[in-house]
Structure 1
Amino acid sequence: MHSLESVHALDTLLNSLHTQKANLLHQLEQIDADIAAAGRKRAKICNDAALVSKLPPELLSHIFLLCQKDKPAFRLIATRVCSRWRDLAVGTRMLWTDIRISLAHYLHVQSGLDKMETYLSRSGPSSLFDVRLDIDDVLDYAPFLKLIANHIERCSHLSVSVLAVSVRQRTSAACLLFREHLELLWAPHLSHLSLHVDSGDGYEITMCGTPSILKAGAPSLSHLQLTGYATGLQPPISGGITTLYLDGMYMTSLTVLEYRDMLATNRCLVNLSLQWFAIDSSMSTDSRTVELPMLRSLRIRTEEGYSGSNEALLNALPLSRLESLILYDFDDLFSFEFPNVKDLSLYNCEFLMDQTVIEQLVLAFPSIIRLTLELYSGPFLYAALSILGEPMTWPKLRTLCVKELDIIDDSDDFSALSRLVQARSRVNSPLDFLYLDNSSHRRAVDILRALGTPTKIICTDIYPAPWPPGSDMNYYDNFWED
């Protein structure tokens, strides 16, 4: 009996202790909550006392936008500083109009979709927005296209790159997705459209003759890029396209007539980029120039074993109007003249090793101010540029950019460069700037500066400058890929 009473007493004590513990834990939780609340009040008082908090919301919002230009992640950082900054950042619609999403794994899909929905919501119903979507694997990006299509009336810039697609069925599916979601759309504010579908299977496509996307119209479209298998997609004909970038890698050969018709539908072209186009000129004797009165910048790339006509590529263009020209893997200059080209870039052009072609080159480009060379530049051109006496070769030349000298085994290029810089300085036609890639700059800068000429030796990035000239466009550019 005594034993039972003891157990009962202990149970009562244990219950009492558990109750006391629960009460103490509750009090502790309450104290933690009070500490957090006091901390928030203190932080708010300190934040309000800070000079930046004295700024009116309109000015602080403008500062946010300036910071966003230099640091794209700033908008997210701003939402984590304090409640005032978060409310202001979320309410600043222009912070959320630049949407960039990369999908490299299936786990990224839902989070990327949530991000796009959030940004579209925060950007508001009337703000224009830009989208850049990069897909690096075989992933389902149809929901993204559907979401973009639902808001296409306020989309200003649309760039989609589908990479690492390895089989024909997936490639076809990618293009079909574009058609399914973009075919019938009206995009009144779309100014930049860039679509790329990559593949490694190498089957050929044919460029459509009728619109297959944006059939309802895109009257503001000025920049159009279709590369990879996306070249088979034909957007609406627009009289306002000023920059056209097309990739013929997977296309069947175009006849001269088809090529001319393609150009003729874009009379407002200022910038034209063509790569790996095969033109069959065997059935045509038409040598007329297509009317492109505003064309000023051209870049063309061919490839080894190219079966089409490089001459036909140039023959249809108003070359006399060009001011900027880039040639990559070009095999011949033919007999064309470029009287107004001031900015000339020659990449991997083996014809520069031919002395007779050098003479033709100098005569074909009488107005050169800036010259860029990469690979196979050879000593012949350096010698031509440094000829003493009159007339001076390219007397207007003020900027020379030379890249990848380090891949050439001997030192001929460096000694030729030195003679060039010295010679032009002696005849009062010095280079203002000599740009060298990082490796070449390290090897040559001390030697060149020791010459005592006014030429400024500058280290530059090995990568080509953005195209079109002066452009700050951030888009997928496969023109330079091997």
Structure 2
Amino acid sequence: MPFSFKRARQQEPAAFPRSILDAVKSFYATERKEPQFKPPKHDRERDRRTHAQAATTITTPANTNTKARSRHHVARHPIRLPHRITQLPPEVLAHIFVLGAEEDVMFPVTVSHVCRAWRYAALHTPTLWRRITLDAGSLLMWNYRIHRAKACTFDIQLCPQSAMSHLGYYNHVQLCMHVAIPYIHRWRSLEVRFNGYAPFLWNAALSACCGHSPTIEAPALRELTLVYPENDDTKEFALFNGFAPRLRRVTIQGIRLAWSPSVFQNLTFLDYTHHGFTRGAQAASEVLYMLQVSAGLEELRLAFPWKGDSASRYALSASFSRSVILPRLKKLALYIDGADVPPALTYTLPHLSLPVLRSLYLVSPAAPRHSQHPEVFPHLRNVLKSFPRLPALSSLHLAHAWLDERFLASLLATLAFPGKPHLTLTLEGPQVTHPFLCHALRHTGRRLRALALVRSEKLTAEAILDVINRLSGVYLQSIPPGAVPAISALYIRDCKHVDWRSLQWIAAVGILLKVWEGGREVDMRPAMSLQYDYMMT
């Protein structure tokens, strides 16, 4: 008798075989690794063909090398040799990054996305993130960079664009400064430049820096730049609660500041353009007080805006009893952008004492072709009368509207003569011609050590050579043995009508010649062989 349950067991659904279950388990249990290098599609097809040929080839001693080469070709991988920059010490690499960040504000972000090693070096270099430019990128990004700078000091820069409404411009400036104000005690430098007009921009930028609270003091501040040429707000700003003991360099234009001794007494560099809200004697009095506070200056650039004052106001002032001595000042630049010398300058100069001044720059911008301004300032004689004594002057630079031959001749005659050539004279502008040089330098004697000519378009090589002959009192072409020329160096920069190749021979008589074209110095080494040939003949 058959078993009663046998038929029922045969009707049960068939179970999966063990081989299928094992295959599924092995598929999911095995760790799958993707190759690091995936060859292109045409390489994969070539590899398949190579595999097929290798499978059909009979292994013999003759084709063993061929199989080895094909197997090596199939299994090839890109060879990655370490770059030499990876062998640099981390400190050197970090210093390179910091130097690059000075040129490009986004350089830290760029180098931190190159590789793991560079990212590690960038994130562990706080000085790399110290530059905060609030007008570029989102403010959230700058908050992250402030966090990455850790305890490092900051270089704050705000130079917003003016393509917005007045209210939008004001709000944007205030919002940007709101990011940096909490870290004012860690500012190393502050630079604010406004290129467009909007009312009360200085209030938006500096209102949080004014007051009587220790939280707004700037003990680490070393450099300050505030520039807004179109400012019309006459408000006076007292910054940093009167405390910035490390401040050394200041650039000011278009703002009125309370010149506190506790902030500005340690300056070594000052680039000051007067705000223009006062004129004449009052403006000169303000500047003299500033210079008296900052008596330790080593470099000064002074400019007064031209306000169209009449010529009748040009007179030396006798109402000042203050005499300002600048015992460390070595470089002075007087810059005038206008039709004439402002009266405030002639009021200021007589009260200055400059015992160690080495370099004097009298500069004005080049006048446009169709400008109504005169080529030279009409009242330079008043400036000459107001100049203080310059016993240590060794470098004099005149540019454009300062190039008056009578003014230059009189100024050179007033300079001290120590008994040997000591003065380097630089003349820049198209006003420099052959008659100009002959008239202006006729009484210089042996004062000149070097003559530099910059962008003098009307000069030629023959004219320059004639001027040197007049100064020397003898023709350089037939100079007797032992005679010394009037100057020992001649510098020519971007004078397009001067054929400097015809002047190379002057090196043989002891005159150093240097030439610049397009901003680059010309290689004068061929002149040495010419000098040797001249001496041999």
Q: Which has the higher contact order (CA 8 A, sep 6+)?
A: 1
Q: Which residue of 1 aligns with 2:57?
A: none
Q: Which residue of 2 aligns with 1:146?
A: 178
Q: Which residue of 1 aligns with 2:453?
A: 402
Deviations 1:140-191 (A, max 9, x none): 22222222222121211111110022xxxx1x42111133122132000111
Q: Which residue of 1 aligns with 2:257?
A: 233
Q: Is the contact between residue 222 and residue 241 of structure 1 (CA under 8 Å) also seen in structure 2? A: yes
Deviations 1:5-34 (A, max 9, x none): xxxxxxxxxxxxxxxxxxxxxx9xx99x93
Q: Is the contact between residue 159 and residue 192 of structure 2 (CA under 8 Å) also seen in structure 1? A: yes
Partners of 1:183 and 1:43 lie apart in 2 by 65
- What are the equivalent positions in structure 2 for 1:187-198 lying under 5 Å apart? 187-198=218-229
Where structure 2 has 5 or more consecutive residues not aligned to the other structure, the ranges are 1-27, 40-75, 365-376, 521-537
Residue 155 in 1 paired to residue 210 in 2? no
| Partner SS, residue 185 of structure 2 | helix
Deviations 1:426-479 (A, max 9, x none): 5524655433333x157432233355554222216779xxxxxxxxxxxxxxxx
Q: How many equivalent pairs are there? A: 400
**Bigger CA radius of gyration:** 2
Q: Which residue of 1 aligns with 2:492?
A: 436
Q: Which residue of 2 aligns with 1:134?
A: 159
**Counterpart selection for 1:362 from 403, 409, 412:** 412
Q: Which residue of 2 aligns with 1:318?
A: 353
Structure 2 vs 1, CA of residues 335 and 401 (structure 1 numbering), >3 Å: closer, same or farther?
same
How far the C-alpha of 1:372 sits from its partner, in A, is 1.9
| Partner SS, residue 226 of structure 1 | strand
Residue 377 in 1 paired to residue 432 in 2? yes
Structure 2 vs 1, CA of residues 382 and 38 (structure 1 numbering), >3 Å: closer, same or farther?
same
Q: Is the contact between residue 295 and residue 321 of structure 1 (CA under 8 Å) also seen in structure 2? A: yes
How far the C-alpha of 1:92 sits from its partner, in A, is 1.3
Q: Is the contact between residue 179 and residue 212 of structure 1 (CA under 8 Å) also seen in structure 2? A: no
Q: Which residue of 1 aligns with 2:5?
A: none
Q: Which residue of 1 aligns with 2:368?
A: none
C-alpha RMSD over aligned residues: 3.9
Structure 2 vs 1, CA of residues 173 and 335 (structure 1 numbering), >3 Å: closer, same or farther?
closer
How far the C-alpha of 1:348 sits from its partner, in A, is 2.0
Structure 2 vs 1, CA of residues 386 and 429 (structure 1 numbering), >3 Å: closer, same or farther?
farther
Residue 95 in 1 paired to residue 146 in 2? no
- Paired letter, 2:425: L
Partners of 2:99 and 2:77 lie apart in 1 by 26
**Counterpart selection for 2:119 from 74, 77, 86:** 86
Partners of 1:435 and 1:207 lie apart in 2 by 47
- Paired letter, 2:432: S
Q: Is the contact between residue 385 and residue 394 of structure 1 (CA under 8 Å) also seen in structure 2? A: no
TM-score by length of 1: 0.70
Q: Is the contact between residue 187 and residue 214 of structure 1 (CA under 8 Å) also seen in structure 2? A: yes
- What are the equivalent positions in structure 2 for 1:39-58 lying under 5 Å apart? 46=80, 49-58=82-91
How far the C-alpha of 1:414 sits from its partner, in A, is 4.5
- Paired letter, 1:403: V
Q: Which residue of 1 aligns with 2:446?
A: 393
- Paired letter, 1:275: A
Structure 2 vs 1, CA of residues 112 and 363 (structure 1 numbering), >3 Å: closer, same or farther?
farther
- Paired letter, 2:463: A
Q: Which residue of 2 aligns with 1:60?
A: 93
Structure 2 vs 1, CA of residues 344 and 141 (structure 1 numbering), >3 Å: closer, same or farther?
same
How far the C-alpha of 1:324 sits from its partner, in A, is 1.4
- Paired letter, 2:112: T
Q: Is the contact between residue 304 and residue 344 of structure 2 (CA under 8 Å) also seen in structure 1? A: no
Partners of 2:390 and 2:317 lie apart in 1 by 27
Partners of 2:88 and 2:401 lie apart in 1 by 58
| Partner SS, residue 247 of structure 2 | coil
Q: Is the contact between residue 213 and residue 235 of structure 1 (CA under 8 Å) also seen in structure 2? A: no
| Partner SS, residue 53 of structure 1 | helix
Deviations 1:191-238 (A, max 9, x none): 110101132xx85x6584xx52222411111112210x22x2335433
Q: Which residue of 2 aligns with 1:12?
A: none
Q: Which residue of 2 aligns with 1:301?
A: 335
**Counterpart selection for 1:217 from 215, 221, 243:** 243
Q: Is the contact between residue 374 and residue 404 of structure 1 (CA under 8 Å) also seen in structure 2? A: yes
| Partner SS, residue 323 of structure 2 | coil
- Paired letter, 1:393: R
Where structure 1 has 5 or more consecutive residues not aligned to the other structure, the ranges are 1-26, 464-482
- Paired letter, 1:318: S
Partners of 2:440 and 2:149 lie apart in 1 by 54
| Partner SS, residue 195 of structure 1 | strand
Q: Which residue of 2 aligns with 1:183?
A: 210
Q: Is the contact between residue 186 and residue 216 of structure 1 (CA under 8 Å) also seen in structure 2? A: yes
Partners of 2:505 and 2:242 lie apart in 1 by 63
